[in-house]
């Protein structure tokens, strides 16, 4: 019986403490005319790749996976499919920061000193990126993804052991339930991470039934994946603010970073309430002290919703470049929806 092995080439990165594992080789070309269609195919026919790389012994559910694919939109230099413990987010700020950095510093996209424009295609659409490069290293990434909008306001749900939890529902690449953390006794500190994770898990399980799963342009986007905890806003100077923030990623993960799309969702909600204006910024701070800067651009529309364009700025660092062997005969590997998307290992390698 022939031994079945495949090889994946990976670049591991981290932004704000969140690890993104970039898959740059080893996966068959996926069917689909767009990155969104490729992502849907992978979700339905090849989800074994996500499970493999986010599970022991190959990975950890707190990681994210970004698979590099061919783009379809004019001007895009690469496409990427985002995979996390909760499924397939259509856009992610930290994953975009990590993917752009990995592609630049690996040479997949030629790097230029100074400010450099990069265009990537996520399943949600184009990510317009400005990289700041100094001495052959990416110092920062500023990314503009799809516009965010407030989908529902003034919602509440009864959560076992926590009582009534009020929240607003905002789209920013995925649906976020936006929760005022201070109402529930949280200051969003490092010491509260376990308690915030438990609260987030109980909340998402209670809130999911009945919440919308449709996006006016992208269709079915699945059940609620994220809860974003908001701390108090402090004004540093006119037009520049900061706030502690944390995002719970269902199931069971509290992001180490303040999350890019969580920050975008916060900006859309603040703009709706008249708390932030075009040209102003909010720096979000995770329980571990990592920071992203969100800046308000201009108004937009998504279907019938008033929406907001914004940018997120952060930095990613490369932590590993590796090739892993996937033994499809290993009892810890489920090959049922994995073998059909992996390239076979060349004979004699």
Q: In 3-state terms, what secondary structure has residue 62? A: coil
Q: Which of 15, 20, 64, 92 is catalytic?
A: 92
Give rounded-to-5 percent helix, strand, coil for the chain.
Answer: 20, 45, 35
Active site residue 92: yes
Contacts of 230 (CB under 8 A, 6+ apart): 178, 179, 180, 181, 243, 245, 266
Q: Whole-angstrom Cα distance, residue 318 to residue 20? A: 10
Question: Would you say how long the chain is, in residues?
Answer: 349
Q: In 3-state terms, what secondary structure has residue 45? A: helix
Peptide bond into 337 cis (omega under 30): no
DSSP 198-239: HHHHHHHHHHSTT---EETTTEE--S--EEEEE---EEEETT
Give residue 3's Cα distance to chain centre. Answer: 36
Helix axes 93-105, 260-272, angle to 10 degrees: 140
Q: Is 253:154 a contact under the CB 8 Å cutoff? A: no
Which sequence positions are flagged as catalytic? 92
């Amino acid at each position: 019986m022939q031994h079945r092995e495949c090889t994946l080439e990976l670049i591991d990165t981290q932004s704000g403490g969140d690890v993104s594992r970039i898959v740059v080789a080893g996966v068959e070309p996926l069917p689909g005319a767009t990155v969104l269609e490729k992502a849907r195919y992978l979700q339905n026919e090849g989800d074994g790749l996500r499970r493999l790389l986010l599970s022991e012994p190959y990975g950890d559910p707190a990681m994210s996976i970004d698979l590099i694919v061919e783009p379809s939109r004019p001007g895009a230099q690469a496409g990427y499919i985002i995979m996390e413990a909760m499924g397939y987010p259509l856009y992610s700020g930290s994953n975009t920061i990590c993917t752009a950095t990995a592609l630049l510093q690996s040479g997949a996209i030629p790097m230029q000193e100074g400010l450099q424009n990069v265009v990537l295609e996520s399943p949600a659409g184009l990510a317009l990126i400005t990289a700041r490069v100094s001495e052959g290293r990416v110092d920062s990434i500023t990314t503009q993804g799809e516009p965010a909008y407030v989908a529902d306001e003034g919602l509440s749900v009864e959560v076992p052991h926590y009582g009534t939890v009020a929240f607003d529902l905002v789209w920013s690449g995925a649906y976020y339930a936006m929760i005022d953390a201070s109402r529930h006794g949280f200051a969003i500190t490092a010491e509260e991470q376990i308690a915030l994770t438990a609260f987030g898990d109980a909340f998402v399980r209670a809130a999911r039934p009945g919440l919308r799963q449709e996006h006016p342009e992208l269709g079915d986007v699945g059940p609620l994946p994220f809860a974003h905890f908001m701390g108090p806003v402090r004004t540093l100077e006119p037009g520049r603010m900061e706030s502690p923030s944390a995002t719970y990623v269902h199931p069971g993960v509290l992001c180490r970073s303040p999350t890019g799309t969580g920050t975008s969702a916060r900006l859309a909600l603040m703009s709706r309430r008249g708390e932030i204006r075009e040209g102003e910024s909010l720096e979000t701070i995770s329980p571990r002290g990592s920071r992203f800067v969100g800046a308000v651009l201009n108004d937009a529309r998504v279907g019938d919703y008033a929406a907001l364009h914004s940018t997120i700025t952060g930095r990613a660092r490369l932590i590993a470049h590796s090739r892993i062997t996937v033994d499809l005969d290993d009892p810890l590997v489920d090959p049922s929806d994995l073998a059909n998307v992996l390239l076979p290992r060349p004979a004699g390698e």
